Structure 1
Amino acid sequence: MRRALHAAAGALVLAAAVVIPSGRAMADGIRDQQWYLKALKVSEAHAISTGSGVTVAVIDSGVAPHQDLKGNLLAGYNFAIAKPDGRTDTEGHGTNMAGLIAGRGRGSTGILGIAPSAKILPLKGGNRDNFDSDIIAEAIDYAVAHKAQVINASLKAAPSIKLLKAVKDANAAGVVVVGASGNDGDTLVGYPAAASGALGVGATDKNGKHWADSTHGPTLQICAPGVDIITTGLRNKYTEADGTSDSAAIVSGAAALVRAKFPQLSADEIIHRITATADDNGTPGRDDNCGFGELNIVKALTADVPPLSGSSSASPSASTVAPAPAASTDVAAPPSAEKKGGSAPLIVGVVVVVLLVAGLVGFVAVRRQRRV
């Protein structure tokens, strides 16, 4: 049940998952086994946002069609054979992640994802032997070019120049890259989770505490549930497993909810909103085990979050809903430009008013002198 993460750097964070039959009685009980939905107050979050209008790219082993993903699975791309369509998955890992992010279930049965109205863009990188850092970089570039707003990378790879640049470019384009830290329990957080501009995610247990096998370190920013996680599997079945892969997928779903609610925010501001509202679950303040704490989706959607230091755009509360801006306004204007444009008209206006008042006083004085 523990996700295998002892392969060479550059391999997928894959799972030795328990396959659960998809018979009617079992399917009816699937939702009850999604304990993390209640822990994260997902029903309350869905009253605010369900991720409508957001596309989440899943860079993984592909995503197989599943009854609980019907209607929100796009074609994507297969980088293993350099051809369109990432809707094939022989290992199941990508299908697992897709269900956690955007499973729609069927009424009260089946898997309910964190962002059930979001679309999934499956980007198949191949099998664990050939899914390397540069392929991940290509997939990130593809996701940005095809208008994904969130990228889920539930995998652990070594850093490369192309991968670091791809993450940087995605961040600059307003795309949130979410990465899994790894399941080795050491301090070697994998990439892209450890890359500058990405959101590195670790795992917590059912008590909201750091999971012992979750890789941690100074680049880790947040944790989310990652133990006894049930989700979509191959052939319309379900699987249960442990790992930071699941945690990253849950956070990717949360990022989709926040993006849908606050379309005007930059990628950095969305990451800031998610981390600033996390529940501290360890040593007071930030720590290497879970960064800023455990994910709190409802607070991420509703709290008044001060903007990042040096940012000229605030991260508004849920009561402040602005329409989606044009693409050219994704990046806030520098503070110096804002001050220059905002203060000059005010000064001119004050001068004009003073001159008008002075003229009026002079006119009245002259009239009075003439009347004497």
Structure 2
Amino acid sequence: MKSVIVFTCIFGVLSCSTAREPADRSFATPEYLAQPGLAVVKAAALYERGGTGAGVTVAVIDSGLMPSHQEFANRLAGPGYNYIEDVARVVDDPLNHGTKMAGLIAANRDYRGMHGVAYDAKILPMQFGASCKDRCDRRTEPFESDDQIARAWTDSYAQGVRILSNSWSNALDAHLLSESHYRQLMPDSLAVAKDLTGKDVVFVFPTGNEIRREPLMEAGLPYLVEGIEKGWLAVTAVRNDGSKITDKANACGIARNWCIAAPGGDGGKGNGLLTTDRDGAYSEATATSAAVAMVAGALAALKSRFPEMTTQQLRDRLLQTANRTGVYANSDLYGQGLLDLDAASR
């Protein structure tokens, strides 16, 4: 295979114009292998069958996006919306979280750095949180942004998006709550979630990173709210090599029937998933937030493989084809098992 300029990009050197496509067209390129989660979920098998995310858009409801990053060239479905400042464009990412998630979902396959699970998909960035005029150095609590989140979901659907990636959660245990509790905290979002799950939308949420036996509120919401499970995916995180649940990830618990495991990486340099960084280079993402992005991207890639199937049918397919062997047979920890894109794309 011809040489590929990859590692200089990984360490932040952006003058990669000499990068060139490998001669053998193999999907297991250095770029593919640089993001270790792709091999764990057997993404190359899906690519070989045409599942790259082409024609599919994922809404990233998060802290923003740095659209100038080279990995997002031709990957944005539009300017998105900043609900903090109420303007129809997303131009920054003060927390450097949404940029990382978007990269895991759909960073370009351009033979440099890394690429996303659905490298031909589009991203619609939807930015919520606190105003940077006072406290943009931390993520706002989601319940404080209920109206912003509800609008982001509604506007995403209005723009034709059916996959909503939500790498955030309210830090409350779902199994200790009720629908009335959630309605008090997130009345606008709950109403929209009920509506959109009846319209072929799939919401993807993390179980959380508190080392608990049960998931946080959003991941476990179908346990509390009747009728929304068909449009819900909870995600727990496994290590880069897929060997076991990460040291911080919450288990699937009560969400086991709609929960799936995906690579999220552990803390510490070299143990995360390589992805895009707001500074224009690359850095690592870890934990269940990263695993959510992997699953949202997988759903988009699978949609391009089976365009005749509804989004919720594909959600079912991801769950039904997950790897339940070995450690993954423990549904309390891993739900329906480890994401397997070879099996899902057959």
**Shift of residue 131 of structure 1?**
4.2
1:130 is displaced (CA, Å) by 5.7
Cα contact 1:67–1:105 (8 A) shared by 2: no
SS in structure 2 at match of 1:144: helix
- Supply the distance in 2 between the matched residues of 1:146 and 1:25 (Cα, whole angstroms): 35
Distance 2:298 2:93 in 1: 24
Task: Kindly indicate whether residue 199 of structure 2 is the aligned counterpart of residue 169 of structure 1.
Answer: no
- Counterpart among 216, 219, 222 of residue 255 in structure 2: 219
* Rg larger in structure: 1
Q: Does 2:84 align with 1:85?
A: no
Find the residue that maps to 2:315 and give its secondary structure: helix
Q: 1:71 to 1:177 in 2, by over 3 A?
A: same
Q: d(CA) in 1 for partners of 2:312 and 2:109?
A: 31
Aligned to 2:140: 129
Distance 1:237 1:99 in 2: 11
Q: Spell out, residue by residue over 1:147-184, the C-alpha distance to the aligned partner (whole angstroms, 9 max, x if none).
A: 11211001112642332332232221112111111111
Partner of 1:139: 152
> What is the aligned partner in structure 2 of residue 276 from structure 1?
320
SS at match of 2:165: strand
Work out whether 1:262 is the aligned partner of 2:306: yes
Conserved 8 A contact 2:82-2:88: yes
- Residue 13 (structure 2) aligned to one of 1, 4, 23: 23
Query: Does structure 1 retain, via aligned residues, the 8 Å contact 2:41–2:262?
Result: no
Q: Report the equivalent of 1:208.
A: 243
Shift of 1:57: 0.1
Asked if structure 1 preserves the Cα contact closer than 8 Å seen for 2:205 and 2:235, the reply is yes
- Secondary structure of the residue aligned to 2:204 is strand
Query: How far apart in 1 are the matches of 2:87 and 2:15?
Result: 39
The correspondence of residues 141-160 of structure 1 with structure 2, limited to 5 A, is 141-157=154-170, 159=182, 160=186
The whole-number CA distance in structure 1 between the counterparts of 2:116 and 2:54 is 13
8 Å CA contact 2:205, 2:292 repeated in 1: yes
TM (norm. structure 1) is: 0.70
Go from structure 1 to structure 2 and tell me whether the alpha carbon gap of 1:130 and 1:180 turns closer, same or farther (over 3 Å shift).
Answer: closer
Shift of 1:284: 7.0
Query: What secondary structure, in the 3-state scheme, does the structure 2 residue paired with 1:234 have?
Result: coil
2:328 and 2:337 in contact (8 A); partners too: no
Q: Flag structure 1 segments of 5+ consecutive residues without an equivalent.
A: 1-19, 303-372
Q: CA deviation at 1:283?
A: 5.7
Contact preservation (8 Å) 1:79, 1:124: yes
Q: Is the 8 A contact 1:203 1:244 kept in 2?
A: yes
Identity of aligned residues (%): 32
CA distance in 2 between partners of 1:113 and 1:284 (Å): 24
Deviation at residue 126 of structure 1 after TM alignment: 2.2
Pairing 1:16-95 to 2, within 5 Å after superposition: 21-23=11-13, 31-48=32-49, 49-65=51-67, 66-73=69-76, 74-95=78-99
- 1:201 alignment partner, SS class: strand
CA distance in 2: counterparts of 1:161 and 1:281, whole angstroms: 40
Give the match for residue 178 of structure 2. Answer: none
Gaps of 5+ in 2: 1-9, 20-29, 131-138, 173-181, 223-228, 266-271
- Native 8 Å contact 1:179 1:193 kept in 2: yes
Helix, strand or coil: the match of 1:96?
helix
Q: Aligned pair 1:288/2:332, yes or no? A: yes
Q: Which amino acid in the other structure matches residue 191 of structure 2?
A: K
Structure 2 Cα separation of the partners of residues 26 and 118 of structure 1: 23
SS at match of 1:182: coil
